[in-house]
């Protein structure tokens, strides 16, 4: 059969594919998903506009910048001030506090669990009086713009399931990431850039820290058009962005038009939504050949802006550069920008390692808040900072006068949020004197997700997708919006 001739024969498998497609999306959405002609380019209406009925109510935030600190920062050395620990240095953590918590393989063989107070000085900052470590002098200056949640908790005790939980709402791989859910529900505000972008930087704390996998920004069982696009730090920001040698823009355009026609025939024949995804991705890639070079050309930023982000702001792949790029993506309408900063897995030699790691993020994160604020964007941009769990008050390994380590601690740790829909200048939740257990206002991972979605005008119980006979959502069957922290 000629490839350009549509077959009149319809097999049972094709009928099944059509039924699955219509059952998943509905007739109305299928009609909306028909490829439209706009400025001579094929595009998908669903990918642009999101799902009908979303947002569910007036949003406070239009977009999210999620500064994920991979490896688990120690809340005891950064945010959760516990002055009484200074008098208990070296004392074995009481069983009444540990309460039989399961241990990781790193400390399971220890017979003693000596308390290790932080060696870093804490002081109060701003009108809010927030306590912050001396390791974060720049974040301290924007403390009144931040909401500190001291009582985030999770079930996962090892890195991979814990990171997966924060990205997808489930410890097991295979669910859509939060950025994919937002792309699916709300669509994109920019035709020339992805709705969901992710970037990775490697810190100075533990440079060879925990690995990160592409599935963390994947679409899971959602159509693959909603997965995140990873911007690289070496070479082309996005793979295959440039034309191959000997191929000019006109040739590329003609090739894509012919390929789109072939894919359209196949889409009409079998109704597979992944074909529509393929068409839209080719077109987005074509438009990104212009939009991405303009995006990453930071030489037009003012000297004052570059100095605000710090000496690494012009070095691709650094946290400072990625924070600056995150602001540029946000002002161009990208819905969800996620920065992963590796290096926080400090089991041993923590004082030295965390000092370098905190220095990596302190100035750029504070600069991002100030930059958004100066541009009038903080009110409708939700910024989130935190890792996959916290760190123990007891020492892993040998406690010395100058050195200590900390193991994984999922029971309580600190996040901060700022911007769209979040009440600034507050600390929410309380932990005990050991930063080991929550004594007031716990916030689970699902609660954090529900609250973030609420800021974007989404009722977390309504953003669902039917897969294998069941309706799924980011928060699964859990989650409560943390209303006291909403502005």
For residue 3, tell me if it sits in a domain. Answer: no
Lowest model confidence (mean pLDDT) among 8-12, 428-432, 466-470: 8-12
Q: 451: which strand partners?
A: none
For residue 415, tell me if it sits in a domain. Answer: yes
**Helix, coil or strand: residue 75:** helix
Q: In the chain, how many H helices and how many E strands?
A: 13, 19
**By residue range, what is the domain housing residue 393?**
12-485
Distance CA 141, CA 170 (A): 35
Lowest model confidence (mean pLDDT) among 141-150, 268-277, 283-292: 283-292
Q: Are 349 and 403 in contact (CB under 8 A)?
A: yes
For 26-54, what is each residue's pLDDT tens digit?
433 333 333 333 333 333 333 457 999 99
Mean pLDDT across the stretch 117-141? Answer: 98
What local confidence, expressed as pLDDT, does residue 23 receive? 42
Percent of the chain with pLDDT over 90: 71
Residue 155 belongs to a domain with what CATH number? 3.40.720
Confidence of residue 97 (pLDDT cuts 50, 70, 90): very high
DSSP H or E segment with residue 443: strand 443-444
The closest of 84, 81, 89 to 134, measured between CA atoms, is: 81
The CA angle 73-446-360, to the nearest 5 degrees, is: 20
For residue 1, tell me if it sits in a domain. Answer: no
Q: Which residues contact 51 (CB under 8 A, 6 or more apart)?
A: 29, 184, 185, 187, 463
Mean pLDDT across the stretch 208-224? Answer: 92
Mean pLDDT across the stretch 267-279? Answer: 80
Mean pLDDT across the stretch 377-399? Answer: 97
For residue 402, tell me if it sits in a domain. Answer: yes
For residue 4, tell me if it sits in a domain. Answer: no
For residue 350, tell me if it sits in a domain. Answer: yes
Backbone phi, then psi, for 483, in 5-degree steps? -65, -30
Distance CA 149, CA 24 (A): 38
For residue 148, tell me if it sits in a domain. Answer: yes
Place of tokens 């994160």: 365
Q: At residue 163, does pLDDT exceed 80?
A: yes
The CA angle 384-389-394, to the nearest 5 degrees, is: 135
Q: At residue 19, does pLDDT exceed 60?
A: no
What local confidence, expressed as pLDDT, does residue 28 receive? 39
What local confidence, expressed as pLDDT, does residue 230 receive? 94
DSSP, residue by residue, 13-70: HHHHHHHHHHHHHHHHHHHHTSPEEETTEEE-HHHHH-STT-SSS--S-SEEEEEEEE
DSSP, residue by residue, 214-238: GGGG--TTS-GGGS-EEEPSSSSSS
What local confidence, expressed as pLDDT, does residue 269 receive? 84
Mean pLDDT across the stretch 46-65? Answer: 88
Distances (CA, A) of 331 to 334, 337, 412, 418, 452: 7, 11, 34, 17, 19
- Would you call 141 exposed, middle or buried from its count of C-beta atoms within 10 A (0-12, 13-18, 19+)? middle
What local confidence, expressed as pLDDT, does residue 249 receive? 77
Q: Are 79 and 150 in contact (CB under 8 A)?
A: yes
Lowest model confidence (mean pLDDT) among 228-237, 303-312, 365-374: 228-237
Mean pLDDT across the stretch 316-329? Answer: 97
Longest alpha-carbon distance in the chain: 83
The closest of 246, 270, 324, 267 to 16, measured between CA atoms, is: 270
Q: Which one has a higher pLDDT value, 153 or 289?
A: 153
Reported pTM: 0.86
Mean pLDDT across the stretch 3-24? Answer: 37
Backbone phi, then psi, for 143, in 5-degree steps? -55, -35
The CA angle 95-101-105, to the nearest 5 degrees, is: 115
Domain count, the chain: 1
Mean pLDDT across the stretch 47-67? Answer: 91
Q: Which one has a higher pLDDT value, 7 or 326?
A: 326
Mean pLDDT across the stretch 180-209? Answer: 92
For 360-376, what is each residue's pLDDT tens digit?
999 999 999 999 999 99
What local confidence, expressed as pLDDT, does residue 236 receive? 75
Mean pLDDT of the chain: 88
What local confidence, expressed as pLDDT, does residue 32 receive? 36
Confidence of residue 240 (pLDDT cuts 50, 70, 90): low
Backbone phi, then psi, for 92, in 5-degree steps? -70, 135
Q: Which one has a higher pLDDT value, 104 or 276?
A: 104
The closest of 387, 397, 464 to 75, measured between CA atoms, is: 387
Q: Which one has a higher pLDDT value, 159 or 243?
A: 159
For residue 62, tell me if it sits in a domain. Answer: yes
Percent of the chain with pLDDT over 70: 88
What local confidence, expressed as pLDDT, does residue 48 receive? 57
Confidence of residue 286 (pLDDT cuts 50, 70, 90): low
The closest of 237, 459, 357 to 365, measured between CA atoms, is: 357
Distances (CA, A) of 8 to 258, 264, 265, 269, 270: 22, 15, 12, 9, 12
For 343-357, what is each residue's pLDDT tens digit?
999 999 999 999 999
**Helix, coil or strand: residue 242:** coil
- 79-82's contacts with Cβ under 8 Å and 24+ in sequence apart are 79/131, 79/132, 79/133, 79/148, 79/150, 79/414, 79/416, 80/150, 80/412, 80/413, 80/414, 80/431, 80/435, 81/122, 81/131, 82/117, 82/118, 82/393, 82/433, 82/434, 82/435
What local confidence, expressed as pLDDT, does residue 451 receive? 98
Mean pLDDT across the stretch 405-422? Answer: 97
Q: Which residues contact 294 (CB under 8 A, 6 or more apart)?
A: none
């Amino acid at each position: 059969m000629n490839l350009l001739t549509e077959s009149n024969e319809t097999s049972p498998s094709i009928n099944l594919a059509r039924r699955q497609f219509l059952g998943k999306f509905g007739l109305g959405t299928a009609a909306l998903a028909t490829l439209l002609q706009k400025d001579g380019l094929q595009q998908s209406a669903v990918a642009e506009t999101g799902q009908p009925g979303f947002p569910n109510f007036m949003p406070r935030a239009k977009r999210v910048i999620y500064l994920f600190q991979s490896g688990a920062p120690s809340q005891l050395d950064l945010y959760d001030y516990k002055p009484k620990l200074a008098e208990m240095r070296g004392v074995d953590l009481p069983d009444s506090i540990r309460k039989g918590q399961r241990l990781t393989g790193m400390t399971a063989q220890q017979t003693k669990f000596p308390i290790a107070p932080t060696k870093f000085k804490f002081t109060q900052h701003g009108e809010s009086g927030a306590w912050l470590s001396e390791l974060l002098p720049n974040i301290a200056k924007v403390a009144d713009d931040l909401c500190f949640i001291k009582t985030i908790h999770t079930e996962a005790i090892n890195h991979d399931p814990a990171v997966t939980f924060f990205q997808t709402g489930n410890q097991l791989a295979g669910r859509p990431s939060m950025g994919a859910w937002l792309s699916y529900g709300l669509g994109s505000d920019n035709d020339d850039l992805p709705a969901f972008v992710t970037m990775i930087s490697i810190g100075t704390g533990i440079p060879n820290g925990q690995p990160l996998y592409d599935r963390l920004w994947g679409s899971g069982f959602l159509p693959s058009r909603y997965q995140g696009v990873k911007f690289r730090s070496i070479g082309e920001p996005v793979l295959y962005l440039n034309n191959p040698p000997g191929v000019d823009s006109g040739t590329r355009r003609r090739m894509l038009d012919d390929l789109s026609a072939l894919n359209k025939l196949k889409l009409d024949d079998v109704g597979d939504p992944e074909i529509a995804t393929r068409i839209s991705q080719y077109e987005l890639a074509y438009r990104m050949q212009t939009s991405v070079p303009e995006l990453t050309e930071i030489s037009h930023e003012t000297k004052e802006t570059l100095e605000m982000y710090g000496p690494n702001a012009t070095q691709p792949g650094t946290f400072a550069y990625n924070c600056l790029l995150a602001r540029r993506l946000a002002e161009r309408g990208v819905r969800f920008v996620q920065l992963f900063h590796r290096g926080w897995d400090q089991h041993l030699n923590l004082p030295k390692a965390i000092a370098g790691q905190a220095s990596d993020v302190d100035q750029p994160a504070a600069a991002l808040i100030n930059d958004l604020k100066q541009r009038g964007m903080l009110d409708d941009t939700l910024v989130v900072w935190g890792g996959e769990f916290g760190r123990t008050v007891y020492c892993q390994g040998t406690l010395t006068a100058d050195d200590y380590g900390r193991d994984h601690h999922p029971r309580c740790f600190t996040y901060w949020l700022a911007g769209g829909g979040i009440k600034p200048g507050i600390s929410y939740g309380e932990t005990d004197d050991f930063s080991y257990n929550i004594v007031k206002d716990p916030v689970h991972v699902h609660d954090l997700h529900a609250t973030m979605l609420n800021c974007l005008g989404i009722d977390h119980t309504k953003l669902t997708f039917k897969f294998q006979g069941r309706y799924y959502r980011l928060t699964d069957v859990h989650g409560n919006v943390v209303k006291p922290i909403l502005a």
